[in-house]
Amino acid sequence: MVPPTPSAADRQEVIAIIGVGLIGGSIGAAVKRRHLARTVIGIGRNEARLQGAREAGLIDVASTLLDGIRDADLVIVCTPVDRIAADVLAAAAHLRPGSVITDAGSVKAAICRDIESARLPEGVRFVGSHPLAGSEKAGWEYADADVFQGRVCVVTPEPASENCERVLQFWESLGMQTVVMSPDAHDRAVAITSHLPHVVAAGLASMLLEELIPLAATGFRDTTRIAAGDADLWTSILISNAGPVKDGLSRLMQRLGQIHDALAADDAEAIRRFLASAKANRDVLEGVAKE
């Protein structure tokens, strides 16, 4: 008997998820909800938690051994950023030629560099990804099949000319819009849009003395929400993207210093210009036309 050709279209693919936490679990839930795979294999280190994810319907098969992925056509590595490169290389050794590996890490340059320099087995390919979805929560208990719908996924093939059609197709099948960028350009961009806001939110949250809590209204809550993110995960992210985050911090501190000096000089016009320009930028995000 000839087995049917694996393809997402006829739902015959085997997809493996390494690291079944918030993002890995959400991917499993979305793939299963949309019937995008014949089987979803979940790989993790904690047997009990992995069985829980299986019982919750996020994966079909649970395994603590990488050997469990040998039939996978597509592998998505969803471990913390400081473990992704090693997990990709370990997974690759178990895969058949023709299979593809991607990841869901928030930082791309260091990961792609480490994987490229180590070389993958013949016929096994890696294309980096960063789905911009998730929350400050951790653990598959917060998995959400809808979290990818309408969101952006950055895909970072290296070299840029590499065919990444299969990976683009996968994220698009979850309802995401895909953007192709180089790993370095990705890291410089998210330093500003994601990592810098995290540092700033944490900085503000760290100034919340107990007696100030009654006065912390929605503005403070919104501005600091992401500071509730997992400290270990975010330490890895910031360290992995240290250069661009440092640059962003320097630029932000310079701006805050200008505002400090404008307040000291009672220069209302400088403050008004700064706030009006920032508001124009923020309004664009909400789809309000820029003046």
Which is closer to its own copies, CB of 70 or CB of 273? 273
Rounded-to-integer distance, Cα 166 and Cα 101, Å: 10
CB of 265 to its own copies, least distance (A): 10
CB of 173 to its own copies, least distance (A): 19
Rounded-to-integer distance, Cα 13 and Cα 25, Å: 18
3-class state of residue 77 by DSSP: strand
Q: Which residue has the tokens 């997809």?
A: 15
Length of the chain: 291
Segment (H or E) for 209: none
Which is closer to its own copies, CB of 56 or CB of 132? 132
3-class state of residue 279 by DSSP: helix
Query: Residue 9 has which token pair?
Result: 């279209």
Which is closer to its own copies, CB of 56 or CB of 202? 202
Sheet with 152-156: strands ordered across:
128-131, 152-156, 177-180
What's at 37, amino acid-wise? A
> 134: which DSSP letter?
-
Q: Are 15 and 73 in contact (CB under 8 A)?
A: yes
CA-closest candidate to residue 22, choices 69, 82, 102, 78: 78
Q: Are 32 and 173 in contact (CB under 8 A)?
A: no
Residue 140 main-chain phi, psi, to 5 deg: -65, -15
Which is closer to its own copies, CB of 53 or CB of 107? 107
Rounded-to-integer distance, Cα 167 and Cα 279, Å: 36
Pairing state between β 128-131 and 61-63:
unpaired
Rounded-to-integer distance, Cα 2 and Cα 259, Å: 70
CB of 184 to its own copies, least distance (A): 14
CB of 14 to its own copies, least distance (A): 30
Beta bridge partners of 61: 41
